[in-house]
Structure 1
Amino acid sequence: MSPSTTHSEARQSAQEYLNARLASRAKSKRQFTVPEIDISPSFSSSIEDRKAVAAQIHEACVNSGFFHVTGHGVSDETRQAVLTLAKRFFQTLSREKKEALHIKHSPYFRGYEPADSSYVNPADWTAQDAAPETKEGFNWGYEAGLDPTGGDGQYRELDGKAVNGNVWPSEEDVPGFYSTIKQYYGEILSLARHLFRLFALSLNLPEDYFDDMMTHPGGIARLLRYPASSDPQPLDPNQADKEIGLGAHSDYECFTILLCSTAPGLEILSPDNVWVPTPAVEGSFVINVADFLMRWTNGMYQSTVHRVVNRTREERYSVPFFFSINYDQMVETLPSCVTPENPSKYPPIRAGEYVLERLRATAPET
């Protein structure tokens, strides 16, 4: 299979999955819930304690695809500092300075992302009834200077090049920007590596199965601002939303770690095709399975469709962290997820190539 064929397959299969979920009218016998998992026992020296947490994660991943984690060890100071930074960046940096950081200047979609520069659901570019997205973002990815381990010096970008694709505002324009990002990213990266060891246990794999694949991992993060609604309305499944912060989508990488402010907005598509509001749990992160892990597990773990609609008069800020493995890693279906009755549904693909193809699909064709 040629690289171009693989890339086309990655984009097409993901879009087909999203379209099928949005069109589904399947009825579920289970009540749709987003469980709260205290992962503090997973830091224990007891493998049984760690397996117990992993079992809860497995249950969440095959059912809702979403769960809250508490007891994660990321400090409240770090969490609040990055949310404050997001507010300061979007409210104080001039339009001209933002434009200089525009993602159109980056082959890796890094930097400032205004609302009109992308649709997270590629089909919305041509849909006549698609509501424009109102989100405003700033995107960055892994670099060794943000990694508490110092990295292994082998980082490759999405396209395999040995470069650092990040762009940053100057210290003069946004004082403390990089240092705050470094603190947050470092703590969240450590948490992501810890969670992936739990994911390994949850899939009946050795706990260190993914360790060698996380030495210079993909880890795209975003600061996001959702403006207050001009006409706040309660959720009505029978009425089209006029203001969409972020359209219906599933995430691209292995899993997402989401930090958000107090303003609600996250909505998850339930198995019976109803949008379910998902309020934040104080002190928690929201974790969700993303498409690459669903692909890697041969569909065992479900990537759940979700969106953001700010229905309040309060601005919403969030910081999603999309965790992957080393972008130069070639990936085939996990051995514990393949049986003679359930052979692999997906061809091998390099991790970075998959994510880059998905990102390219969100921008207009040029």
Structure 2
Amino acid sequence: MTTIPVLDLKPLKDGAPGALEKLGAEMRHAFTEIGFYFVRNHGISEELLDQTFAEAERFHSQPVEAKLSVRINEHNMGYMPMRGATTRVNAVGDVALPNANEAVFFKRDLTPDHPDVVAGHRFRGLNQWPAGLPGFREKILDACAAFEGLGMSLLPVYATALGKPADFFAPFFTDPMFTLRMSHYPQQEATAPENEFGIAPHVDTSFMTILAQNKIPGLSLRTTDGDWIDAPAPEGALLINGGQLLRRWTDNRFLATPHRVINRSGKERYAIPFFFDCNYHAVMTPITEDGTPGRMPPITYAEFMTGYQKANFHHAAEKPKSDEGVELQGV
């Protein structure tokens, strides 16, 4: 577990014989033994990643009133205030205090006349862009396009790892869902309660989470033995993991590994995880080894995420909670 596999995408991009099969075997090992892997030669420039981190800092440096002007809504788009979420449905261990972070969320930039927007489908609304940050929208869309491209390029590797044809996932990922979360983790004082985390021990919801390596430490992973280890940060690599949707879709064959954030660095920490999922309307039927029915029934992205939101995010709860004097109403 202490050695996270590194998948090099260059041979695949170069069309080297056997490259896909080799990567599939490496990914199968990663997801059956560890739950995380790194990718090198992924095609996303350090300049773009640095730029996206800078935009996260620029957004969160605004006055709270400016951030609240794009407050998070039922589509999970917009700004979530500090301690606006408590990890419950995907918690590892006891439920901790509300997470000591603030975040802003962006999804695919749909237009007002898009059929899903017109129909009012949940999680298919319009992004909320801050008014006072010129160039912000364009830079965030550049980052989303780069992360989405990487996610799409990895789908044949996932299919091969599961013993499926390389194009198996293609029909499920036409117009895929994604979320870019731009988080701010303030320094946590030594006097903070023991059960307060930047983000509490949890597993992600996603099919694929792409995480740019952070220059400020704080992320740790739980081994299969139950130990917590600090996530390494090899230069030029991106860290990728699977979440509950991947685990469910693979009939629990692939791991969703717990992780957490504790910021004791003495500095402000920012993170830009990109959550990549199938098409909104795709039905995920568990992929079993022998083709028999899976442990869980088929499910769609919307069905899964609606339950997750209500359990974890204060703004989506049946009875909204207040947060430091701010009423977290669902809108």
Fold shared, TM-score > 0.5 on shorter chain: yes
Query: How far apart, in 2, do the equivalents of 1:47 and 1:164 lie?
Result: 43
Query: How far apart, in 2, do the equivalents of 1:83 and 1:226 lie?
Result: 13
Q: Of the candidates 295, 298, 304, which is equivalent to residue 257 of structure 2?
A: 304
- The aligned counterpart of 1:94 is 63
After TM superposition, the score normalised by the length of structure 1 is 0.79
Identify unmatched segments of 5+ residues in structure 2: 320-331
Change (3 A) 1:201 1:32: same
Query: How far apart, in 1, do the equivalents of 2:117 and 2:13 lie?
Result: 30
Query: How far apart, in 1, do the equivalents of 2:140 and 2:196 lie?
Result: 29
Change (3 A) 1:261 1:158: farther
Identify unmatched segments of 5+ residues in structure 1: 1-30, 146-152, 234-239
Q: Match for 1:270: what amino acid?
A: T
- The aligned counterpart of 2:105 is 139
- The aligned counterpart of 2:289 is 337
Q: Match for 1:116: what amino acid?
A: R
Residue 242 of structure 1: how far off its partner (Å) = 5.5
- The aligned counterpart of 1:25 is none
Query: How far apart, in 2, do the equivalents of 1:74 and 1:120 lie?
Result: 31
After TM superposition, the score normalised by the length of structure 2 is 0.86
Query: How far apart, in 1, do the equivalents of 2:305 and 2:105 lie?
Result: 14
- Asked if the contact 1:327/1:353 (under 8 Å) is kept, the reply is no
Residue 345 of structure 1: how far off its partner (Å) = 0.1
- Percent identity between the aligned chains? 28
Residue 232 of structure 1: how far off its partner (Å) = 9.4
- The aligned counterpart of 2:269 is 316
- The aligned counterpart of 1:44 is 14
Query: How far apart, in 2, do the equivalents of 1:157 and 1:325 lie?
Result: 21
2:49 is equivalent to residue 79 of structure 1? yes
Within a 5 Å distance, the mapping from 1:168-183 to structure 2 comes to 168-170=129-131, 173-183=132-142
Query: How far apart, in 2, do the equivalents of 1:175 and 1:230 lie?
Result: 34
- The superposition leaves residues 16-65 of structure 1 with CA deviations (integer Å, 9 ceiling, x where unpaired) of xxxxxxxxxxxxxxx54322222222213245112211211111011110
Within a 5 Å distance, the mapping from 1:278-289 to structure 2 comes to 278-289=231-242
Q: Which moved more, 1:34-43 or 1:79-88?
A: 34-43
Query: How far apart, in 1, do the equivalents of 2:63 and 2:234 lie?
Result: 33
Change (3 A) 1:188 1:263: same
Change (3 A) 1:268 1:44: same
Across the aligned residues of Structure 1 and Structure 2, the Cα RMSD in angstroms comes to: 2.5
Q: Of the candidates 26, 50, 55, which is equivalent to residue 56 of structure 1?
A: 26
- The superposition leaves residues 181-204 of structure 1 with CA deviations (integer Å, 9 ceiling, x where unpaired) of 011111110000011221111111
Residue 261 of structure 1: how far off its partner (Å) = 2.4
Query: Per the alignment, in what secondary structure is the counterpart of residue 74 of structure 1?
Result: coil
Residue 312 of structure 1: how far off its partner (Å) = 0.8
Query: How far apart, in 1, do the equivalents of 2:161 and 2:100 lie?
Result: 37
- Asked if the contact 1:224/1:319 (under 8 Å) is kept, the reply is yes
- Asked if the contact 2:205/2:245 (under 8 Å) is kept, the reply is yes
- The aligned counterpart of 1:363 is 313
Query: How far apart, in 2, do the equivalents of 1:157 and 1:58 lie?
Result: 40
Query: How far apart, in 1, do the equivalents of 2:14 and 2:156 lie?
Result: 13
Structure with greater helix share of residues: 1
Q: How many residues align?
A: 312
- The superposition leaves residues 229-265 of structure 1 with CA deviations (integer Å, 9 ceiling, x where unpaired) of 33399xxxxxx83641001111112010011420111
Change (3 A) 1:205 1:49: same
2:201 is equivalent to residue 248 of structure 1? yes
- The aligned counterpart of 1:351 is 301
- Asked if the contact 2:213/2:237 (under 8 Å) is kept, the reply is no
Query: Per the alignment, in what secondary structure is the counterpart of residue 175 of structure 1?
Result: coil
Query: How far apart, in 2, do the equivalents of 1:317 and 1:157 lie?
Result: 34
